[in-house]
Amino acid sequence: MSENRPDASNVAPGQPHDSMFSETLSYVLGLGLALVLTGISFWVASTSALWGPGVAVGLVVLAIAQMGVHLVFFLHINTAPDNTNNVLALAFGVLIVALVIAGSLWIMDHLNQNMMPMHQMMQMQR
Amino acid sequence: MTSEAATIGLTHSGSEDTGLGHRGPESKSIVVPYGFWLFVLSDMVLFSALFATYASLAHATDGGPISNQLFDRNLVAVETIALLLSSFVCGLAMIAAKRANMLWTQGWLFVTGLLGFVFLSIELYEFAKMIGEGAGPQRSAFLSSFFTLVGCHGAHVTCGLLWIGTMMAQIWAKGFRDDIVRRLLCLSIFWHALDIIWVAIFTIVYLIGTLA
């Protein structure tokens, strides 16, 4: 396994690669941060103390932060040189995901705006 | 080789890898999980298409029930905690497996599967309740996309549970052989990735969907 190869230039994603204490600490830290972020998400969604229209954006930001926590503390994706290939693959994945989601929403929003209202279409079909 | 690599400037400090293949391929313990990481990322691309579909159709309710009337945040909170703890315990299992500790590896893997089963049971209960109320996937475009997105995640969790059981049996029968440990690592990547997708689901579908 990789712990026997300290000079390795690559490391597998998800592979714990330190002493037992620091490995456990990483998972415990990740769990704590994820629990806090989840708690804030549920609080933000149910409170009326915040400005309504901003809540959805805040929730998305919290979700992205929590995904980051999972990537760093559970999947051990970080900025170390032996992790470069994993990070590059992730970056490409994020690019495609962003293109698919943003592109679909953009196109479907325009389609909705340009669509004839349903009752007009029914009248034309008569 | 080293001086040539330094001239080309493609190398990390202390590494002889020029990025040009002088060293040959990496060992299997790197290549296999990396390939699986690429699969997991492509799986996320698949989910992004389902998310885009859901977001486009979330208001196409055809006079049927809307998300505010269907979703129970307390149930979702329990599901979220169960899956998060499951992901955490899976990490503990990996720490034990790396040290070839049979008892703790099996124990943590069992807890991982148990928490995953709790998650899946709650999800199936929610689905059955919705379908019983006439809010099944054929009711509206919104519900079709909801069942596709969340059901696809649930199907992944089901596969993960089967995989956990298989890995427990393999470790028990064959011990911590290199190939078995590689499979276990792939399983942990898969399981953590499912939790990442669930973060997006509970935020977009359940929390944003039930804002007042």
SS (H, E, C) chain B: CHHHHHHHCCCCCCCCCCCCCCCCCCCHHHHHHHHHHHHHHHHHHHHHHHHHHHHHHCCCCCCCCCHHHHCCHHHHHHHHHHHHHHHHHHHHHHHHHHCCCHHHHHHHHHHHHHHHHHHHHHHHHHHHHHHHCCCCCCCCHHHHHHHHHHHHHHHHHHHHHHHHHHHHHHHHHHCCCHHHHHHHHHHHHHHHHHHHHHHHHHHHHHHHHHCC
CB contact under 8 A, A27 and B91: yes
**What is the mean predicted confidence (pLDDT) over B113-120?**
97
CB contact under 8 A, A13 and B12: no
What is chain A's mean pLDDT, rounded? 85
**What is the mean predicted confidence (pLDDT) over B114-139?**
94
pLDDT band at B29 (very low <50, low <70, confident <90, very high): confident
pLDDT of residue A28: 94
Domains present along chain B, CATH in parentheses: 27-210 (1.20.120.80)
- Higher pLDDT residue, B61 or A2? B61
* Of A46-55, B111-120, B171-180, the least confident: A46-55
Report B:58-87 residues touching A (Cβ under 8 A). 73, 77, 80-81, 84-85, 87
pLDDT of residue B19: 57
**What is the mean predicted confidence (pLDDT) over A38-55?**
89
If residue A89 lies in a helix (H) or strand (E), which one and from where to where? Answer: helix A84-114
pLDDT higher than threshold 60 for residue B15:
no
Q: What pTM value is reported for the model? A: 0.85
pLDDT of residue B40: 96
pLDDT higher than threshold 80 for residue B73:
yes
- Higher pLDDT residue, A10 or B153? B153
Q: Tens of pLDDT along B52-65?
A: 999 999 888 888 88
pLDDT higher than threshold 80 for residue A105:
yes
pLDDT of residue A116: 65
pLDDT higher than threshold 80 for residue B129:
yes
The two three-digit tokens of residue B182, written as one number: 């590689």
pLDDT of residue B6: 40
Long-range pairs, A63-66, Cβ under 8 A, ≥24: A63/B199, A63/B200, A63/B203, A63/B204, A65/A37, A66/A33, A66/A34, A66/A37, A66/A38, A66/A41, A66/B199
Half-sphere exposure of B93 (CA within 13 A, CB side): 29
CB contact under 8 A, A12 and B56: no
pLDDT of residue B105: 95
pLDDT higher than threshold 80 for residue B198:
yes
* Of A14-18, B17-21, B67-71, B163-167, the least confident: B17-21
Task: Please tell me whether residue A9 adopts helix, strand or coil conformation.
Answer: coil
| Candidates B30, B77, B207; nearest CB to A2 | B30
**What is the mean predicted confidence (pLDDT) over A72-76?**
92
CB contact under 8 A, B92 and A27: yes
- Tell me the ipTM for this assembly: 0.84
| Candidates B44, B203, B211; nearest CB to A93 | B44
| Candidates B14, B98, B211; nearest CB to A1 | B98
